[in-house]
Amino acid sequence: MKVLVTGAAGFIGSNLVYHLLESRPSWKITALDLLTYAGNIENIAGLINDRRIEFIKCDIADPATVNELFAEKGFDLVFHLAAESHVDRSIHSAAEFIKTNVVGTQVLLDAALSSKVSRFVHISTDEVYGSLGPTGYFYETTLLDPTSPYAASKAASDLIVLAYFKTHGLETVVTRCTNNYGPYQFPEKLIPLFVTNALEDKPLPLYGDGLNVRSWIYVRDHCEALLCAAEKGVAGEVYNIGGTSDGEVNNRVVTAAILEILKKPETLIKPVKDRPAHDRRYAVDSSKINGIGWKAGILFREGLEKTIKWYVDNRSWWQSIKTGAYLEYYERNYGAR
Ligand code: NAD
Ligand code: TYD
């Protein structure tokens, strides 16, 4: 089986590459990534001598290079994860989100169609559904109502992917997952940002009242769900992916747990001005993917402890990121709050 993973040097992409090599050892994997600020070749450096994997640096929004690659390799299966993925950055500037998430997805779909890819798994997010009140869940049939430019660009790409199934018969599957956490997550997202700031005794900038709820899933559970959707999902369908029920918690609870595990004081918490259009709550109903044989297995506390240990043990990984352009972004996003 010849498999393409886009965004393979990012957080979920790199975890997926390790998972596929472990669980499907005969597969040949092409790991594609542009290595933007969020992509880090170090994430998959441990595989450099593994002959089952090849790394290609490529922009998914560049049709000439992408078409040539697909024609040459003849992929059977594509896991499409490459994206601009951070809500706060999409608020500062949306252009790259449209280029990569929307145009880049269309370029990949055209290449998949003309090279006769058998299955195209598009990795999306529950953020396309917008925001929930205190109760209820997002279902695959829930109306799309994205609020951030990031979520809107993902919703647009989801619809294009589904249209390629309806119009051209390309075997696509769309997955919509809740918030991931785990090793190799770029320290701009809540959990790795707060863990690394706490390790440096720096303030933890908690947006608004800190009562926004996310439904956290350990990244390895998400990777297992993606493999299940690829192998057992029905073409043209959407599958929600959510974590264990104890992972549905507000940001104050996540922050308190991080500080408790690291034995750091609550005085590090710094309430700051809220994010515009900050979605109040996300939570998905995962029964559809449960029905094809996948279920989240890692409890939030267990996953959080593992994740924190990873950041404690891999200080040089995140310390080398938190320099230069990262600090400029940090000042732009947090300086005036
Ligand atoms: P990430 O930002 O860590 O990784 C994205 C990767 O895509 C990076 O390695 C980056 O270099 C690469 N990339 C960006 N633009 C590219 C381009 N034009 N061409 C090729 N590569 C490019 O993101 P992530 O958290 O690993 O998310 C991966 C996917 O999963 C995204 O599509 C995201 O929308 C989706 N998702 C993420 C979460 C989450 O909680 N992180 C939840 C649900 C869905
Ligand atoms: P984030 O990790 O950016 O994921 P998303 O916005 O895609 O859900 O944020 C998770 C939650 O944490 C969200 O409610 C916003 C909040 N948050 C903060 O309070 N402070 C921060 O510095 C960040 C990055 C997020």
Closest-CA residue, ligand 2 atom 22, reads 205
Residue 140 predicted with pLDDT over 90: yes
Using the mean position of ligand 1's atoms as its centre, give its distance from the Cα of residue 162 in Å. Answer: 20
- List Cβ neighbours of 99 (8 Å cut-off, separation of 6 or more): 61
Considering only CA atoms, give the Rg of the chain. Answer: 19
Q: Does 48 have pLDDT greater than 90? A: no
Residues lining ligand 2, judged by CB closer than 6 Å?
A: 87, 127, 179, 189-190, 193, 205-207, 212, 214, 251
The DSSP call for residue 312 is H
33, 59, 84, 127: the active-site residue: 127
Cα 84 off chain centre by: 9
Task: Select from 85, 186, 317 the residue to mutate for testing ligand 1; criterion: most ligand atoms less than 8 Å from CB.
Answer: 85
The interaxial angle of helices 190-199 and 300-313, nearest 10 deg, is 50
- Ligand 2 center to residue 104 CA distance, Å? 25
User: Domain 2-181+216-241 carries which CATH code?
Assistant: 3.40.50.720
Task: With a cut of 90, say whether residue 336 has pLDDT above it.
Answer: no
Q: What is the pLDDT of residue 162?
A: 98
Rounded distance, CA 321 to CA 330, Å? 12
Q: Is the pLDDT of residue 337 over 90?
A: no
Q: In the prediction, which pLDDT does 163 show?
A: 98
Ligand 2 mean position to 317 CA, how many Å? 21
pLDDT band at 31 (very low <50, low <70, confident <90, very high): very high
Residue 126 annotated among the catalytic residues of the structure: yes
Is 150 among the catalytic positions? Answer: yes
User: Each residue of 247-299: pLDDT tens digit?
Assistant: 999 999 999 999 999 999 999 999 999 999 999 999 999 999 999 999 999 99
- Residue ranges of the domains in the chain? 2-181+216-241
Cα(290) to centroid(ligand 2), Å = 27
The pLDDT of residue 109: 99
Average pLDDT, the chain: 98
- Least confident piece of the model among 39-53, 137-151, 315-329: 39-53
Cβ atoms within 10 Å of 334's Cβ, excluding its own: 15
Q: Quick one: average pLDDT of 304-330?
A: 98
Q: What value does the mean pLDDT take over residues 60-83? A: 98
Q: Torsions phi, psi of 105, nearest 5?
A: -65, -40
Q: Which residues contact residue 49 at a Cβ distance below 8 angstroms, ignoring those fewer than 6 apart?
A: none
Lining residues, ligand 1, CB within 6 Å: 6-7, 9-13, 33-36, 38-39, 59-61, 81-85, 100, 104, 123, 125, 154, 177, 179-180, 186
Distance 190 CA to ligand 2 centre (A): 5
Contact at 8 Å (CB) between 150 and 85?
yes
Averaged pLDDT for residues 198-219 = 98
Active site residue 326: no
